[in-house]
Amino acid sequence: MNKTLKYVLTVLTAGLVLMLGAPAAFAHSGPIKLEVTGDGADNVNVLVTYKKDGHPVTEILNATLAATSSDGRSFGPVPLRSAPEGQNLYHAAEPLPNGDWRVTVTATEPSKAHTTVTVKAGEIAASPVAATGPASVQERSAAQHAADEGAMGMPVKIGIIALVALLAVAAWIGLVRRNRASVRR
Protein backbone atom coordinates (compact mmCIF):
# COMPACT_ATOMS: atom_id res chain seq x y z
CA MET A 1 0.00 0.00 0.00
CA ASN A 2 1.45 3.35 -0.91
CA LYS A 3 2.05 6.18 1.53
CA THR A 4 -0.78 8.42 0.23
CA LEU A 5 -3.36 5.65 0.50
CA LYS A 6 -2.28 4.90 4.08
CA TYR A 7 -2.56 8.59 4.95
CA VAL A 8 -6.05 8.88 3.43
CA LEU A 9 -7.27 5.76 5.25
CA THR A 10 -5.83 7.02 8.56
CA VAL A 11 -7.54 10.39 8.17
CA LEU A 12 -10.81 8.70 7.16
CA THR A 13 -10.68 6.34 10.15
CA ALA A 14 -9.93 9.22 12.53
CA GLY A 15 -12.83 11.19 11.04
CA LEU A 16 -15.22 8.27 11.51
CA VAL A 17 -14.12 7.82 15.12
CA LEU A 18 -14.72 11.52 15.76
CA MET A 19 -18.12 11.40 14.05
CA LEU A 20 -19.26 8.38 16.02
CA GLY A 21 -18.18 10.10 19.21
CA ALA A 22 -20.03 13.28 18.18
CA PRO A 23 -23.33 12.60 20.04
CA ALA A 24 -21.53 13.31 23.31
CA ALA A 25 -20.65 16.73 21.94
CA PHE A 26 -24.34 17.39 21.41
CA ALA A 27 -25.10 16.81 25.08
CA HIS A 28 -27.40 19.50 26.37
CA SER A 29 -26.80 21.92 29.15
CA GLY A 30 -27.97 25.33 30.14
CA PRO A 31 -31.24 26.76 31.36
CA ILE A 32 -34.33 24.57 31.51
CA LYS A 33 -37.99 25.39 31.04
CA LEU A 34 -40.74 24.02 33.29
CA GLU A 35 -44.22 23.73 31.76
CA VAL A 36 -46.72 23.06 34.56
CA THR A 37 -50.35 22.03 33.97
CA GLY A 38 -53.05 20.23 35.88
CA ASP A 39 -53.67 16.70 34.64
CA GLY A 40 -57.46 17.06 34.77
CA ALA A 41 -57.73 15.08 37.98
CA ASP A 42 -55.71 15.32 41.18
CA ASN A 43 -52.13 15.75 40.05
CA VAL A 44 -49.87 18.10 38.12
CA ASN A 45 -47.84 17.44 34.98
CA VAL A 46 -44.44 19.08 34.65
CA LEU A 47 -42.80 18.92 31.22
CA VAL A 48 -39.08 19.76 31.35
CA THR A 49 -37.24 20.99 28.24
CA TYR A 50 -34.14 23.02 27.44
CA LYS A 51 -34.91 26.70 26.82
CA LYS A 52 -32.37 27.00 24.03
CA ASP A 53 -33.64 24.30 21.67
CA GLY A 54 -36.79 22.83 23.25
CA HIS A 55 -35.29 19.33 23.46
CA PRO A 56 -36.35 17.11 26.37
CA VAL A 57 -34.25 17.09 29.51
CA THR A 58 -32.99 13.53 29.92
CA GLU A 59 -30.76 14.17 32.92
CA ILE A 60 -32.02 13.47 36.43
CA LEU A 61 -34.29 16.26 37.60
CA ASN A 62 -34.22 17.45 41.20
CA ALA A 63 -37.39 19.47 41.71
CA THR A 64 -40.16 20.07 44.22
CA LEU A 65 -43.75 21.25 44.05
CA ALA A 66 -45.46 23.45 46.63
CA ALA A 67 -48.98 24.86 46.40
CA THR A 68 -51.36 27.23 48.14
CA SER A 69 -55.13 26.89 47.69
CA SER A 70 -57.53 29.75 47.08
CA ASP A 71 -58.95 29.16 50.60
CA GLY A 72 -55.53 29.38 52.30
CA ARG A 73 -54.55 25.69 52.61
CA SER A 74 -50.95 24.75 51.81
CA PHE A 75 -49.54 21.65 50.16
CA GLY A 76 -45.96 20.44 49.97
CA PRO A 77 -43.24 20.85 49.21
CA VAL A 78 -43.22 17.38 47.66
CA PRO A 79 -40.62 15.98 45.27
CA LEU A 80 -41.38 15.45 41.60
CA ARG A 81 -41.14 11.89 40.29
CA SER A 82 -40.55 10.76 36.74
CA ALA A 83 -43.83 9.83 35.05
CA PRO A 84 -44.18 6.59 33.09
CA GLU A 85 -45.84 8.46 30.20
CA GLY A 86 -42.74 10.27 28.97
CA GLN A 87 -39.02 10.79 29.23
CA ASN A 88 -39.17 14.40 30.41
CA LEU A 89 -42.56 14.34 32.13
CA TYR A 90 -42.85 14.53 35.91
CA HIS A 91 -45.65 14.32 38.50
CA ALA A 92 -45.86 15.33 42.15
CA ALA A 93 -45.09 12.43 44.48
CA GLU A 94 -48.48 13.02 46.18
CA PRO A 95 -51.82 14.04 44.62
CA LEU A 96 -53.20 17.52 45.16
CA PRO A 97 -56.35 17.76 47.30
CA ASN A 98 -59.49 19.04 45.55
CA GLY A 99 -59.64 22.77 44.86
CA ASP A 100 -58.00 25.65 43.05
CA TRP A 101 -54.25 25.82 43.68
CA ARG A 102 -51.42 28.22 42.99
CA VAL A 103 -48.64 25.73 42.22
CA THR A 104 -44.94 26.58 42.33
CA VAL A 105 -42.36 24.18 40.89
CA THR A 106 -38.71 24.75 41.75
CA ALA A 107 -35.88 22.80 40.09
CA THR A 108 -32.26 22.76 41.22
CA GLU A 109 -30.78 20.16 38.85
CA PRO A 110 -29.76 19.92 36.00
CA SER A 111 -30.12 23.70 36.26
CA LYS A 112 -32.15 26.08 38.38
CA ALA A 113 -35.67 26.96 37.26
CA HIS A 114 -38.83 28.23 38.92
CA THR A 115 -42.40 28.69 37.69
CA THR A 116 -45.81 29.32 39.25
CA VAL A 117 -49.22 28.53 37.70
CA THR A 118 -52.82 28.12 38.82
CA VAL A 119 -54.43 24.67 38.47
CA LYS A 120 -57.72 23.06 39.47
CA ALA A 121 -57.53 19.64 41.14
CA GLY A 122 -60.42 17.27 41.64
CA GLU A 123 -61.72 13.80 40.98
CA ILE A 124 -62.99 13.61 37.39
CA ALA A 125 -64.45 10.47 35.87
CA ALA A 126 -62.70 9.88 32.55
CA SER A 127 -64.84 8.98 29.56
CA PRO A 128 -63.65 5.78 27.84
CA VAL A 129 -64.38 7.41 24.47
CA ALA A 130 -62.12 10.38 25.25
CA ALA A 131 -59.20 8.12 26.10
CA THR A 132 -59.43 6.10 22.89
CA GLY A 133 -60.91 8.62 20.46
CA PRO A 134 -59.19 9.54 17.17
CA ALA A 135 -57.73 12.80 18.54
CA SER A 136 -56.12 10.95 21.46
CA VAL A 137 -54.64 8.35 19.08
CA GLN A 138 -53.31 11.11 16.83
CA GLU A 139 -51.72 12.92 19.78
CA ARG A 140 -50.04 9.72 20.98
CA SER A 141 -48.89 8.95 17.42
CA ALA A 142 -47.41 12.45 17.00
CA ALA A 143 -45.71 12.25 20.39
CA GLN A 144 -44.29 8.81 19.60
CA HIS A 145 -43.02 10.04 16.21
CA ALA A 146 -41.32 13.01 17.87
CA ALA A 147 -39.74 10.73 20.48
CA ASP A 148 -38.53 8.33 17.78
CA GLU A 149 -37.10 11.20 15.72
CA GLY A 150 -35.22 12.56 18.71
CA ALA A 151 -33.90 9.16 19.77
CA MET A 152 -32.83 7.86 16.37
CA GLY A 153 -32.39 11.01 14.28
CA MET A 154 -28.78 11.85 15.12
CA PRO A 155 -27.29 8.30 14.85
CA VAL A 156 -29.03 7.80 11.49
CA LYS A 157 -27.71 11.12 10.16
CA ILE A 158 -24.20 10.30 11.34
CA GLY A 159 -24.41 6.86 9.73
CA ILE A 160 -25.51 8.32 6.40
CA ILE A 161 -22.70 10.90 6.45
CA ALA A 162 -20.15 8.18 7.26
CA LEU A 163 -21.45 5.95 4.47
CA VAL A 164 -21.29 8.77 1.91
CA ALA A 165 -17.75 9.63 3.04
CA LEU A 166 -16.66 5.99 2.68
CA LEU A 167 -18.20 5.74 -0.79
CA ALA A 168 -16.49 8.97 -1.86
CA VAL A 169 -13.09 7.74 -0.65
CA ALA A 170 -13.60 4.33 -2.31
CA ALA A 171 -14.50 6.02 -5.62
CA TRP A 172 -11.48 8.32 -5.36
CA ILE A 173 -9.16 5.36 -4.66
CA GLY A 174 -10.63 3.47 -7.61
CA LEU A 175 -10.12 6.43 -9.94
CA VAL A 176 -6.52 6.91 -8.76
CA ARG A 177 -5.70 3.22 -9.33
CA ARG A 178 -7.33 3.21 -12.77
CA ASN A 179 -5.48 6.40 -13.69
CA ARG A 180 -2.13 4.93 -12.55
CA ALA A 181 -2.82 1.73 -14.46
CA SER A 182 -3.54 3.62 -17.67
CA VAL A 183 -0.39 5.77 -17.22
CA ARG A 184 1.82 2.65 -16.83
CA ARG A 185 0.62 1.11 -20.11
Question: Is 165 found in the same domain as 133?
Answer: yes
Question: Is 110 found in the same domain as 45?
Answer: yes
Query: Using CA atoms, how far apart are residues 173 and 53, in angstroms rounded to an integer?
Result: 41
Confidence at 106, pLDDT banded by 50, 70, 90: very high
Question: Is 145 found in the same domain as 76?
Answer: no
More reliable by pLDDT, 130 or 60: 60
Question: Is 141 found in the same domain as 120?
Answer: no
Task: Over range 91-105, report the average pLDDT.
Answer: 88
Question: Is 174 found in the same domain as 98?
Answer: no
Confidence at 74, pLDDT banded by 50, 70, 90: very high
What was the pLDDT predicted at 105? Answer: 92
Q: Is 117 exposed, middle or buried (0-12, 13-18, 19+ CB in 10 A)?
A: middle
Confidence check: pLDDT of 182 > 60: yes
What was the pLDDT predicted at 25? Answer: 44
Question: Is 39 found in the same domain as 91?
Answer: yes
Question: Is 26 found in the same domain as 37?
Answer: no
Share of the chain above pLDDT 70, in %: 70
Question: Is 70 found in the same domain as 26?
Answer: no
Q: What three-state secondary structure class fits 101?
A: strand
Confidence at 124, pLDDT banded by 50, 70, 90: low
Task: Over range 142-152, report the average pLDDT.
Answer: 51
How does pLDDT run across 9-52, given as a tens digit for each residue? 777 677 766 666 555 445 567 888 888 888 777 788 888 988 88
Query: Using CA atoms, how far apart are residues 97 and 78, in angstroms rounded to an integer?
Result: 13
Assign residue 58 the CATH number of its domain. Answer: 2.60.40
Residue 50 domain boundaries: 32-124
Question: Is 152 found in the same domain as 101?
Answer: no
The candidate with the shortest Cα–Cα distance to 57, out of 66, 47, 48, 69, is 48
Q: What is the DSSP letter of 85?
A: T
User: For the chain, how many structural domains are there in total?
Assistant: 2
